[in-house]
Structure 1
Amino acid sequence: MPTLLEFLALPNPDLDSLSRIKGTNTFNLAFDDIEGTRPWFDFTLDTILSCFGDILHQPLPAVEFHHPHPIQTPFLRIVDEISVDGILLRWNHVIVNRALEIALTFLVSRGFHSILWSWGSLSLVREDRRFRPDWAGILVEPRSSEQYHKNLIPGDTKIGSKFHSRYKDSIDEFEIGEFNKVLAQAVHYSRVVGSRYGYIISDEELLVFRRTKAVDPDGSIAASRPRRQQKQQHQHGREPSMSSTASGVAATWSDVVETTSGSRYTDDGNPDVNEQALDIASIPWSRNGPQSLTVNLGLWFIHLLAALDNSLQESYMRIGGWEAIGQGRWRQAGSARVVGTLPPGALMAENP
Structure 2
Amino acid sequence: MIRYTYVQSRLRRALRSGFQHLAPQLANLHLTPITVDIGDAAQIINNFRPDIAFFRAGSTLNSSPNRCPGDLKVSWKWGSDWAAVESQIDRTEYLQVLSQVNFYMKQHNARYGFALTDTELVPIKRLDANGNLLVARAIPWEAGGPGRLTVLLGLWYLGMLGAADDDWQLL
Q: Which amino acid aligns with 1:312?
A: L
Aligned counterparts of 2:115 and 2:98: Cα–Cα separation in 1: 8
SS in 2 for 1:208: strand
The alignment status of 1:300 with 2:156, answered yes or no, reads yes
Structure 2 residue aligned with 1:133, among 36, 39, 50?
50
Aligned counterparts of 1:194 and 1:121: Cα–Cα separation in 2: 17
The answer to whether the Cα contact below 8 Å between 1:104 and 1:114 also exists between their aligned partners in 2 is: yes
1:87 corresponds to which residue? 3
Q: TM-score, normalised by structure 1?
A: 0.44
Aligned counterparts of 1:88 and 1:277: Cα–Cα separation in 2: 24
How far apart are residue 276 of structure 1 and its match?
3.1
Aligned counterparts of 1:290 and 1:212: Cα–Cα separation in 2: 31
Aligned counterparts of 2:133 and 2:49: Cα–Cα separation in 1: 24
The alignment status of 1:113 with 2:29, answered yes or no, reads no
Mapping of residues 48-59 of structure 1, within 5 Å:
none
How far apart are residue 186 of structure 1 and its match?
1.0
Q: TM-score, normalised by structure 2?
A: 0.88
1:165 corresponds to which residue? 80
Aligned counterparts of 1:134 and 1:277: Cα–Cα separation in 2: 19
Q: If each structure's helix is expressed as a fraction of its own residues, which one has the higher value?
A: 2
2:123 corresponds to which residue? 208
Aligned counterparts of 1:304 and 1:168: Cα–Cα separation in 2: 27
1:311 corresponds to which residue? 169
1:99 corresponds to which residue? 14
The answer to whether the Cα contact below 8 Å between 1:209 and 1:281 also exists between their aligned partners in 2 is: no
- Matched positions, count: 164
Cα RMSD after superposing both structures? 1.7
SS in 2 for 1:152: coil
SS in 1 for 2:136: strand
How far apart are residue 312 of structure 1 and its match?
2.1
1:196 corresponds to which residue? 111
Moved over 3 A (4+): none
How far apart are residue 293 of structure 1 and its match?
0.4
How far apart are residue 125 of structure 1 and its match?
3.4
Aligned counterparts of 1:276 and 1:178: Cα–Cα separation in 2: 17
Q: Which has the larger radius of gyration?
A: 1
Structure 2 residue aligned with 1:147, among 42, 50, 61?
61
Q: Which amino acid aligns with 2:61?
A: Q
Aligned counterparts of 2:135 and 2:90: Cα–Cα separation in 1: 20
SS in 2 for 1:136: strand
Aligned counterparts of 1:287 and 1:169: Cα–Cα separation in 2: 22
The alignment status of 1:278 with 2:134, answered yes or no, reads yes
Aligned counterparts of 1:192 and 1:150: Cα–Cα separation in 2: 9
Stretches of structure 2 lacking an aligned partner (at least 5 in a row): none
How far apart are residue 150 of structure 1 and its match?
2.4
Structure 2 residue aligned with 1:291, among 140, 147, 154?
147
Aligned counterparts of 1:163 and 1:211: Cα–Cα separation in 2: 20
Aligned counterparts of 2:168 and 2:94: Cα–Cα separation in 1: 25
How far apart are residue 281 of structure 1 and its match?
2.7
Stretches of structure 1 lacking an aligned partner (at least 5 in a row): 1-83, 214-272, 314-352
Q: 1:185 to 1:276 in 2, by over 3 A?
A: closer
How far apart are residue 177 of structure 1 and its match?
1.1
Query: Structure 1 vs Structure 2: percent identity of aligned residues?
Result: 30
Q: 1:192 to 1:203 in 2, by over 3 A?
A: same
